[in-house]
Structure 1
Amino acid sequence: MVSTYEVRPIATVVGGHTRVLDDYQGGVRSIIRLHDEYPLETLQGIEEFSHLTVTWRFHLARPEDVQLHARSPRGNTRWPATGTFVHRNHRRPNQLAISYPRLLDVDGRDLLVTDLDAVDGTPVIDLAPYFEQMGPRGTVRQPAWPGEMLDPAYWRDATERP
């Protein structure tokens, strides 16, 4: 049985990246601005953490962007065709992403972060502090292609973009 549910954003990304780009995501500062309907005390203590877990929506994507088939990452046939749930992009059915930006400062409802790979205006569905103990347990295993695709360009400083 398929059920649906409504999700409302709790915050919005302000500033930072102004367009969708594959690489050079590093070093860009942006603000996660908590919506007014949430009391300030919902952020109490968050400044004690170095990183956040941010769930956000690819709001510039369209429903027709979803691709429910195997394909090579970034269309590069050097990498194997892999299924929709093996990619981390907007072509997913719910068009959601999770990022782990560094928290630099808290000013009221504004969380100043860096290394958030979302663009200005992105709706934030949820956020939480990153707990090391909730990260992967055991040895992390992955094929070679994600490293080839993302290293070193993905988190390269945005000011170095050619």
Structure 2
Amino acid sequence: MNNAKFPAKLIEIESFRDDRGHLFEQFIIVEAETGEQFWIQDLLLYCDNEMKGKIIEIDFSVSQSFSGDNLVKQDNKEKKIVVKKMYSGNKYSLDYPTFYGEIVGRMDDPSELIVDVGSGTISVSINKKEVDNFLIGDYIKIRSSLVQF
């Protein structure tokens, strides 16, 4: 297995343009099959308005922080996504998601883990020095600070 695929419904696109009107970056809100909504930075400008409301299969990455404190092994075997709302009534109130899942493979680069979070698989980038500490079959929890294509 060398790719991660996550089916999600595209809810919203927030685009950013330069002074000449050229699209240079966008964020999207997606909804997992299990109902959790969260932001993804779409640096590749993959999504467009025609995709809104549709189920798309995406490959996105969550990274371990430089300190490594946002990634830990779990004794319990949970596969889920937790997204806290900072306050209700505003689409911008979504907090960064925390992913719980099982390491089911690696990408071509061994520091890129493929993690089954229950509603799909995601890519988790870990520090190169940590490669031997996270093995296929381990359950992990990663608090994201940025989710991106």
TM-score band by shorter chain is under 0.3
TM-score by length of 1: 0.23
- Kindly indicate which of the two structures has a greater share of residues assigned to strand: 2
- Kindly indicate which of the two structures has a greater share of residues assigned to helix: 1
Q: Whose radius of gyration is greater, 1 or 2?
A: 1
TM-score by length of 2: 0.24
